[in-house]
Amino acid sequence: MSRYLVVRVSQGLLTLLLVSILTFFLINLAPGGPSAIMNFQSTAEQREALTKQLGLDKPVVQRYAEWLGGAVQGDLGNSLDSKQPVGELLAERFPNTVILSAATLIFTLMIGIPLGVLAAVKRGSWIDRLITFMSTFGMAIPEFWLGILLIIFFAVIHPILPISGMMTAGSDFSLVDLIKHLALPMFTLSILMLPNIVRFTRSAMVDVISLDYVRTAKAKGLGAYRVFFQHALRNALVPIAAIVGLIVPILLGGSVVVENVFGWPGMGRLAVQAATNRDYTVVMGVTILVGAIVIVTNILTDLIYTVLDPRIRYE
């Protein structure tokens, strides 16, 4: 088990290294390269000074080596825009993204798994067809548009929910206030993920429902709820855990858009601001962090399998 973990973690680190190489060279070898970030209004001397300061006169391989040397020690460089260390910016924004994403994930699983189970149990019925159609529909809705519609409905027509930020300006922290601010972005983001969860739960359940042990559970007189939720769903959770591993990247991508719709001060807003300003050190830092989250999620998913299914053991 621990040996398995060592292998997985080192594989993950290797992937992360490759991702950083890809990103770094993509940015630095682009036509105009990072020098394109320099304001065209600046004078030739200013540009030269900036080039020196950023070390852009050095060969790209050397610059990558220097970046990597710093990154290993936790130094991801400074933002070209605000001059703040990238690590500091990430540390400030990342927890907010975690709050939004975790709330969304929990909400989506709580809604999506029962819907998927229902569709599977009532397979072929109108309920199943409705749920399946709604999930296709949900996948096609642009989440930023849904966000705007929700804002119009809950702020313009029925002004009951705040539409921007994480808490009311000037007030002390309160959980109720946070939840109110969380409601719309969380709902918007969950619509992006719900179709995946519902469809996957449905197909995992359809596979499990026809199995012998589900018939055994019925033969014990356990009743529909226990048969489907405790016996069938408990087994379907293993493939469902796999999809959770796969949707975390979708969640992170979606949160970029949703954070911008609702002015949520998370990593996604930071990333878009940075991309707009072509602040490549920040974009690079965000990408590395996101890559790391994806890798950690995958390892965690593998560990969750062992909890969910006693037959799975890693050697």
Site for another protein, residues 211 to 240, rule: CB under 8 A: 211-213, 215-224, 226, 231, 234-235
Is residue 101 involved in binding another protein (CB under 8 A)?
no
Distance CA 134, CA 126 (A): 12
User: What does the block give as tokens for 24?
Assistant: 């770094």
Site size for another protein (CB under 8 A): 76
Distance CA 290, CA 169 (A): 29
15 vs 51, beta carbon nearer another protein: 15
Among 44, 72, 140, 175, binds another protein (CB under 8 A): 140
Residue 145 beta carbon to another protein: minimum distance, rounded to whole angstroms: 3
Site string (252-291) toward another protein, x via CB under 8 A: xxx-xx--xx---------xx-xxx-xxx--xx-xx--xx
Residue 220's alpha-carbon distances to 6, 89, 205, 311, in angstroms, are: 44, 57, 20, 24
Q: Is 198 exposed, middle or buried (0-12, 13-18, 19+ CB in 10 A)?
A: buried
Is residue 86 involved in binding another protein (CB under 8 A)?
no
Among 137, 165, 174, 296, binds another protein (CB under 8 A): 137
Among 1, 36, 61, 130, binds another protein (CB under 8 A): 36
What residues between 291 and 310 interact with another protein by CB under 8 A? Answer: 291, 294-295, 308-310
Is residue 26 involved in binding another protein (CB under 8 A)?
yes
Residue 164's alpha-carbon distances to 70, 157, 251, 255, in angstroms, are: 36, 16, 20, 14
Distance CA 258, CA 160 (A): 19
Residue 15 beta carbon to another protein: minimum distance, rounded to whole angstroms: 6
Residue 36: DSSP 8-state: G
